[in-house]
Amino acid sequence: MRGPNWGQVGPLVRLRWRMVRSVPRQVAVVALATGFALLVLVMIATAGRLVSRLGWDAIATQALVAYPVALLLFSLVAVIAPFLAGGAIELVPASQLVAYPVTPRTRFALSLLLMPFNLTWLLQVVLLVGLVAVGTGGTTRLWTLASVTAVFVVAATVAGQALAWTGTAVRLTRPGRLVTNAAAVALLVVVAANANQASIFELAGRTPLVPVLDAGLSPVGPRWFVTILLLLVVVWVAVLAGIMAVGWTLRLGTETAGLHEGARRRRRAQPGSAFRALTVTMMSSVSRSKPIRRGLALLVVLPVAVAGVAELSWTEIVVLPGLVAAGAALLFGVNGFSLVGGGAAWLGSLPQRRGQPLAALAVTIGVVIGGSSLVTTMGVAVFAEGRPRSSELVALAVGALASATWITSTAVWLSVRRPYQADLRGNRDAAAPPGVMAAYSLRLAGSAGLLGLCLVVTAQLRAPTATVTLGLVVVAVALMRGVRALQAWRDPRIRSRALLTTSFG
């Protein structure tokens, strides 16, 4: 079997790039990519020298101790992120490629190219770069460890994609779904019962990750060459396995085929008003969508699992509601009318008040964001250290309310002004194109993180008045943005563009 079909990848990437018809957006994508590359280079060039000149040998030693754990976490992210996305983020929707001979090799290559658009993957790479630069202290070991780390990142990413596509194929069968669901539940129970900081370090020490570190710290020689060669073998085997898994997935058919057509549905009670009917319809779309269900489960389970291992303090939990709200909005809220997909045009033709669809969308987004933030915060609070102070409880409550309001208003505004065609039925469906989702991730997570840090400061200063004032300001600005979105929605041109773009592109 041959490797990825790069001859088809190039035209598809160029086609996707030409579909970004806004020159400022193209410039922003190039600027973000260039900025990330410069950040990596600056960290490599300066971090190690700074540690060496200041004599921070203890920090360098701690960085090397944490390095195997960082490799373990990166490996988990490389597997979990594409698995939850159903194998990959789609560069071009699968429905638009039906008439073209796009091979499994091309699909697997595209899934690898799109992995850097995952914000979690990028953050893990930045963490590894920082640990390598600090741990080597500007010595000649920098380039040997950096080369081993770079090849390991490629190997883990390719292996994660192969496992994710294999899991997607397995889950297309009913026995496969039952087995994988049972395995996931069993794994969560084992992790919750045994995971802590000591066990994570112990697990990392028992894996082959420590020999990878030793090979990177050794001079160029047989040990270094053998490690690089073994990692390259892993890359090639994972490429072949991934291509086979993609072909297997395509032969089994799409995950949406016959999903609802043959199912029996109980007739719902007649809604009392048009607004209630719209809200029930959108909430039902949330519960039926596979990517949304998986994403919400991840948002709830993953922070609770991390809290059980890391034993977070109440001050650290204050940042959590905003980040969870941002993650929930990325599932569908940034392009909210994707919940009705091709029915958006039909939705606009119904006899209803002009603002009712937008109000129903705002309620749906707010309920999902608020509910996921509340459940996650309560789960994390169970594992928090000590008893909270009154200022920390005030900051946590204000943060939950203010971040949910801010993220909801931002999502509604983007849904009106920046619509995209999307159909959130399949495992790999997303609310917007990959580049747009990456930009939205930075925007929402950045604003939520900044608000959380400000609340942490006020909680540390034990100034509940300042906390409440900050929350009221954020809520007021968010409500003003919501009013602006409603005013824009009342413009028939903007409203028609939002609904027709969501339906037909």
What are the φ and ψ backbone dihedral angles of 99, each rounded to 5 degrees? -85, 0
**Whole-number pLDDT of residue 505:** 67
**Whole-number pLDDT of residue 268:** 65
Residue 228 shares a structural domain with residue 285 = no
| Mean pLDDT confidence for 405-429 | 82
How far apart are the C-alpha atoms of 299 and 314, rounded to whole Å?
19
Cβ atoms of 86 and 426 closer than 8 Å: yes
Please report, rounded to a whole number, the percentage of residues in the chain having pLDDT higher than 90: 5
Q: Is residue 264 part of a domain?
A: no
Residue 301 shares a structural domain with residue 363 = yes
What are the φ and ψ backbone dihedral angles of 289, each rounded to 5 degrees? -80, 125
Q: Is residue 262 part of a domain?
A: no
Residue 108 shares a structural domain with residue 223 = yes
Q: Is residue 192 part of a domain?
A: yes
Q: Would you state the structure tokens that stand for residue 99, as one six-digit string?
A: 């008439």
261 falls in which pLDDT band (50, 70, 90)? very low
Residue 244 shares a structural domain with residue 278 = no
Residue 189 shares a structural domain with residue 310 = no
**Whole-number pLDDT of residue 68:** 79
267 falls in which pLDDT band (50, 70, 90)? low
**Whole-number pLDDT of residue 260:** 46
| Mean pLDDT confidence for 145-150 | 84
Q: Is residue 258 part of a domain?
A: no
Q: Is residue 310 part of a domain?
A: yes
Nearest to 415, CA basis, from 475, 343, 330, 476: 330
**Range name among 83-97, 144-158, 169-183, 219-233 with the lowest pLDDT average:** 83-97
H/E element holding 331?
helix 320-331
Residues 6 or more apart whose CB falls under 8 angstroms from that of 459 comprise 315, 318, 389, 391, 392, 394, 395, 467
pTM comes to 0.72
Residues 6 or more apart whose CB falls under 8 angstroms from that of 118 comprise 81, 89, 438
More confident position, 4 or 225? 225
Residue 239 shares a structural domain with residue 278 = no
Cβ atoms of 238 and 155 closer than 8 Å: yes
Cβ atoms of 243 and 164 closer than 8 Å: no
Give the count of domains, the chain. Answer: 2
Nearest to 329, CA basis, from 317, 319, 321: 321
Contacts 24+ apart (CB under 8 A), 346-353: 347/278, 347/499, 348/495, 348/496, 348/499, 350/274, 352/274, 352/278, 353/274
Structural domain of residue 358, as residue ranges?
274-504
Name the residue type at position 93.
Answer: P
More confident position, 48 or 458? 458
| Mean pLDDT confidence for 252-259 | 52
Nearest to 499, CA basis, from 349, 330, 283: 349
Residue 295 shares a structural domain with residue 216 = no
pLDDT in tens, 333-360: 888 888 887 777 777 777 777 778 888 8
